[in-house]
Structure 1
Amino acid sequence: MNEVPSRRRWRARIMLLLTIALLGGRFAHASLAVLVGEPFGSFGTMMPLGHTAIYLNHVCADGPLKVRQCHAGEPQGVVLARYHAIGRYDWLATPVMDFLYATQDASEVPAYATPEAIWAMRERYRERFLRNVVPDGVQGTMDRDGSAKNARDLEEWWETAGMAYYRRLWAYEVATTPEQDAALVAVMNDHANRHRYHLSGANCADFAAELLNLYFPGAVRHADRVADYGLMTPKHVVRSLSEYAGKHPELDLHVWEIAQVPGSLRRSKTVWGGVESALKTKRYLFTLLVIQPEVPLVLEALYLRHGRWKLGEGAQPMPPLVPSATEETLASVPATTEPDGSQ
């Protein structure tokens, strides 16, 4: 018996069930969660800031370009996120199970994910839900990590589904009201959904900050000019929300960890802020030490004063795996694959 992958598969099943419980167990009360996905792939190594999205448990996707308030008893909710390359659009709405696992059926989620399995699930998701945005023939082809390549200006469509196969995510959840949800639905549906992405001033974290401030005016301050070089970052968004919720206990802040599904893809990396990235990314730090050795000292001082904050502090821990006597016999583990690109 291949003990290690078998245990990984059982752990994956337990984590999936816990995630589904998170998505549905608190459904009686409206809430918003900022999802911070850890960086992965070559771009994530170069710029380890991660990705930000907004999960709303009482708002549902009315297709990928519109949202509505969920019907009574309708489960799960929607994830809203801004992307760099989804054609002429600025943001897409994705049902949360699709966003995490590229399926609406929990029984289809693989306990051990491979690029081929992920691509097949994502293609079914595109055909079922995203075909009006990404028609047949322009979705590109499967890259070696299960992502899409040769999709031109739609190259990020694949990042709308199956993200839990590529990265661990942190969810910062606060209570909302039906009236706040209704205001959000009106804003999203009434405003033109045109491409706006820009790294400085209109990135995924800026989008999340805008939606948070719609619900809670002033919750997210302007980007930190010192710790993040003036860029809005995922870490800054959830730090601001945490500090705001600390002053407003009625928001009932909860922090959750959504585990990366075990598989042949490399594990995602830690989310850092701007100055923190320069200090902790070896290629940047080594270059600075050679060219301008005084700069790392300045960055260290800035980080210690402005940038120190631990993502995931107080997150609900996953319980340990309980070994089962019915563990299945598994084939050998595939070679680990490094995802290309992304963040």
Structure 2
Amino acid sequence: MGGIYTPAASFPPSRFGEIVNEAPSRPLWRASILLSLTLAFVSWQSARASLAVLVGEPFGSFGTMMPLGHTAIYLNHVCADGPLKVRLCRPDEPQGVVLARYHAIGQYDWLATPIMDFLYATHDPAEVLAFATPQKVWAMRERYRERFLREVVPDGKQGTMNGDGSAKHAHDLDEWWETAGMAYQRRLWAYEVSTTPEQDATLVAVMNDQANRHRYHLSGANCADFAAELLNLYYPGAVRHADRIADYGLMTPKHVVRSLTGYAEKHPELDMHVWEIAQIPGSLRRSKTVWGGVESALKTKRYLFTLLVIQPEVPLVLEALYLRHGRWKLGQGAQPMPPLMQTGPEETVAATPTALEPAGSE
């Protein structure tokens, strides 16, 4: 994934101008760089069959209360056949699909979303927001719903816009908006490994043959459990059972990629790469660090202060458990990107994880 150079000239001039404008401000330049990186990521992956575990950072009030993040699976040679079925991609379909389990999408367990829609709520790079505001993000998600998701979220059932561009009052469909425009709301990490056409064909058969009925449960059937199941379908034993000590027995996003990393170290033929997809600039709050179970209790101030007052010995136990079982750096080894664009003869805008955000979080 690293070592990819995507010059501005590779974009059609008319479209590139729509994204960054003729005299872009720093946020616009930064957004265009992030988009270029993502397009380079998608284009690079299309050359070979691969699977990537996407770990999205937590955000909003729920992310503060439970900073475990969200997990999804990106398959570059499998495509969405609507939101409820998948199929093998045709040669002229380079994007691929994101599969994820959600808590509140009506009667369904999982949804399939094209990768560009999942990240930016559009399939057209010219429409990607350079600066995200709640109103603009909501409008893009509404257009995406009307174009792609209407059979799951009919008109009148989508709810209304929340203050952060999410949906409210959608009742049992409250999470439909999380299928689109996630790069406006959070930073994501992609842990990518090679696959084969035969493995992809097996995945398609399994997903289409099994009943897609609501299964979500925090313990045993959450989004990380879903990702672990798909990973183990491709590579049996890649994800071990949930960590009973570091994560209280819950499957967490951090545990999934930690297990996959360990498995890939023993199987170098998987050719693992780690990629950072940074959050688009905007007025939306920045996402937070992904933590594990014990780590959340130890590093979330509201939990830690309460424990210090009520049972001061508990934080000491949590610290020992974290140091022994839960300490692992998410994003470690993410490959830096080379410079993509130049603003003048003396200034180069570089898009590397260290230039955008700290490369990795512990």
How many residues end up aligned between the 2 structures?
322
Distance in 2 of aligned mates of 1:316 and 1:133: 37
Q: How does 1:220-299 map to 2 (within 5 A)?
A: 220-299=239-318
| Paired residues of 1:7 and 1:323 also in contact (CA < 8 A) | no
Deviation at 1:72? 1.4
Task: Report whether the alignment pairs 1:112 with 2:131.
Answer: yes
Paired AA for residue 72 in structure 1: P
| Paired residues of 2:97 and 2:115 also in contact (CA < 8 A) | yes
Counterpart of 2:15?
A: none
- Among 37, 47, 70, the alignment partner of 2:66 is 47
| Paired residues of 1:15 and 1:318 also in contact (CA < 8 A) | no
- Among 74, 77, 92, the alignment partner of 2:93 is 74
Distance in 2 of aligned mates of 1:252 and 1:319: 21
Task: Report whether the alignment pairs 1:36 with 2:63.
Answer: no
TM-superposition CA deviations, 1:247-268 (whole Å, max 9, x none)? 0000000000001000000100
Paired AA for residue 160 in structure 2: T
Distance in 1 of aligned mates of 2:340 and 2:29: 7
Paired AA for residue 215 in structure 1: Y
Counterpart of 2:206?
A: 187
Counterpart of 2:164?
A: 145
TM-superposition CA deviations, 1:307-327 (whole Å, max 9, x none)? 01000001022446856259x
Task: Report whether the alignment pairs 1:14 with 2:33.
Answer: yes
Task: Report whether the alignment pairs 1:197 with 2:194.
Answer: no
Q: Residue 193 of structure 2 aligns to a residue in which SS?
A: strand
Paired AA for residue 295 in structure 2: E
Counterpart of 1:331?
A: none
Distance in 1 of aligned mates of 2:168 and 2:340: 36
Gaps of 5+ in 2: 1-23, 346-362
Deviation at 1:24? 1.5
TM-superposition CA deviations, 1:213-249 (whole Å, max 9, x none)? 0000000000000000000000000000000000000
Counterpart of 1:56?
A: 75
Identity of aligned residues (%): 84
Q: Residue 324 of structure 2 aligns to a residue in which SS?
A: helix
Gaps of 5+ in 1: 327-343
Paired AA for residue 179 in structure 1: E
Task: Report whether the alignment pairs 1:307 with 2:326.
Answer: yes
- Among 87, 98, 102, the alignment partner of 1:83 is 102
Deviation at 1:145? 1.0
| Paired residues of 2:33 and 2:341 also in contact (CA < 8 A) | no
Paired AA for residue 46 in structure 1: M
Counterpart of 2:352?
A: none
Paired AA for residue 37 in structure 2: L
Distance in 1 of aligned mates of 2:338 and 2:69: 25
Counterpart of 2:356?
A: none
Ranges of 4+ aligned residues in structure 1 off by more than 3 Å: 318-323
What TM-score do the two structures reach when normalised by structure 2? 0.87
TM-superposition CA deviations, 1:27-86 (whole Å, max 9, x none)? 121000000000000000000000000000000000000000001131110000000000
Distance in 2 of aligned mates of 1:318 and 1:260: 15
Distance in 2 of aligned mates of 1:52 and 1:257: 14
Distance in 2 of aligned mates of 1:251 and 1:302: 31
Distance in 2 of aligned mates of 1:7 and 1:191: 48
Paired AA for residue 244 in structure 2: R
Where relative contact order (Cα < 8 A, 6+ residues apart) is larger, the structure is: 1
Q: Residue 113 of structure 1 aligns to a residue in which SS?
A: coil
Paired AA for residue 236 in structure 2: P
| Paired residues of 1:10 and 1:321 also in contact (CA < 8 A) | no
Q: Residue 64 of structure 1 aligns to a residue in which SS?
A: coil
- Among 171, 178, 182, the alignment partner of 2:190 is 171
